[in-house]
Amino acid sequence: MLNKSRFSVKDLVNAGMFSALIIGVFWCCGMIGFIPVLMPFVPFLGAFCSAPVFMLYTSRIDKPGMIGILGCLFMLVFSLSGHGLFVIPVVIVLSIISEIILYTGKYKSIIHARLAYTVFMASSAGPLVPIYISRESYRQYLIASNYGADFADKMLAVMPMWSFFPIVLAGCLGAYLGTGLGVKCLNKHFKKAGMI
């Protein structure tokens, strides 16, 4: 039966901790983007490496709102770190969809948890939007931020206009594969949570 009770203080602490950890792992993986030719791989790597943490998160909390908390922190971190405001509507929509997916699985389904994170990681599209809709402005932004013209040109060269959807889909694939790895590594936690 779905636990419809409100978040306890412990739940909120766990939700905040796991959300911060998921974002932290994704952010650390994003550091490979300092090598401009590796920027297209950031969504895949970030989603893949953070996915096991998300799966552990789903084994600890079974209440509506867990994706909402993650989404709020995701929006806050990425919008305040200069990734543009496009991330906000993207994350809001995908958080709602992902929350519905978890809800339909009563927050106890591994399949629904994997699907929810796969959908949520399409949110990697948000920070990428400025690169594709205003390339020259984004190039000037990078130069003004002391990345240099060479960095900007190399990054834009490996991210042509047609690459937007493949990169976003790669992020979703990374999430799906990473959640599968998480299930294998955290099997005992899912048994304890009644998800297996």
In this structure, is residue 1 part of a structural domain? no
In this structure, is residue 139 part of a structural domain? yes
**Could you tell me the pLDDT band of residue 10, with boundaries at 50, 70 and 90?**
confident
Q: CA-to-CA distance for 156 and 36, rounded, in angstroms?
A: 8
- Enter the tokens of residue 121: 């990681």
In this structure, is residue 3 part of a structural domain? no
Residue type, 1: M
> Which of 162, 160, 171 lies closest to 127, judged by CA?
171
Name the least confident of 3-7, 48-52, 117-121.
3-7
Q: What range defines the domain where residue 120 resides?
A: 9-192
Q: CA-to-CA distance for 178 and 172, rounded, in angstroms?
A: 10
* Model confidence, pTM: 0.88
Q: Domain count for the chain, please give it.
A: 1
Neighbours of 187 (CB within 10 A): 12
Neighbours of 21 (CB within 10 A): 15
With H, G, I as helix, E, B as strand and everything else as coil, classify residue 73. helix
Q: Does residue 107 contact residue 58 with C-beta atoms inside 8 Å?
A: yes
pLDDT tens-digit readout, 81-114: 777 778 889 999 999 999 999 999 998 899 999 9
In this structure, is residue 2 part of a structural domain? no
**Could you tell me the pLDDT band of residue 22, with boundaries at 50, 70 and 90?**
very high
Q: CA-to-CA distance for 6 and 162, rounded, in angstroms?
A: 44
In this structure, is residue 42 part of a structural domain? yes
Q: CA-to-CA distance for 161 and 157, rounded, in angstroms?
A: 10
In this structure, is residue 176 part of a structural domain? yes
